[in-house]
Amino acid sequence: MAPIDNSSATPEQSDSRRQFTDLLRERRAELGEGLSRVAMKAVDPDTGKSVKRGRIYRLEGNEEGGITPPDFWELQALAVAYRLPLERLQDAAGQQFHGVDPLRSGSSEAVAYVHKLDSLPPDQRERLMHLIDTLVPPSAGEGE
């Protein structure tokens, strides 16, 4: 009988699923900041909790054995420290840890529009949809 292979990689350990760790590591390099400096800034504005340096080190993929997905408060704290939109961190975490692909389109503008849509009042969203429908009529059966 062949031995059982327990070495199957989880999404966060797979090279194809490193969106979150790569985003953090690359953004910190862009900012030119060290781990300690980022950790000092990584404070959730709602809870006041801070993400420790060692946790950030692991979230950036610098430790073998996989990563525990971040909690929502940690994402909020990291958004502050890395000066990134919370939605971008959520999308990257969803991809890496849960295999969820965010909204895709031919342009990054469409994704930005969708993120802004939620901030519009209902009457403005309705008017915007009406405008879009006049420019691009809905497909048959859409919205049924």
CB atoms within 10 A of CB 78: 27
pTM of structure: 0.64
User: pLDDT at position 32, please?
Assistant: 97
Of 39, 41, 70, 45, nearest to 57 by C-alpha is 39
β-pair partners for 43? 50
The pair of three-digit structure tokens given for residue 35, joined into one six-digit string: 């781990």
User: pLDDT at position 8, please?
Assistant: 38
pLDDT band at residue 141 under the 50/70/90 scheme:
very low
Mean pLDDT of the chain: 81
pLDDT band at residue 16 under the 50/70/90 scheme:
low
User: pLDDT at position 119, please?
Assistant: 76
Whether residue 62 is predicted with pLDDT greater than 60 in this model: the reply is yes
Whether residue 144 is predicted with pLDDT greater than 50 in this model: the reply is no
User: pLDDT at position 109, please?
Assistant: 67
Does residue 43 sit in helix, strand or coil?
Answer: strand
More confident site: 120 or 18: 18
Token pair 């959520």 in the structure block, residue: 90
The pair of three-digit structure tokens given for residue 80, joined into one six-digit string: 């502050």
Residues 6+ apart with CB under 8 A from 67: 12, 21, 58, 59, 61, 97
Helix (H) or strand (E) holding 56: helix 53-59
Q: Please name each of the domains of the chain with its CATH number.
A: 19-98 (1.10.260.40), 103-144 (no CATH)
User: pLDDT at position 117, please?
Assistant: 78
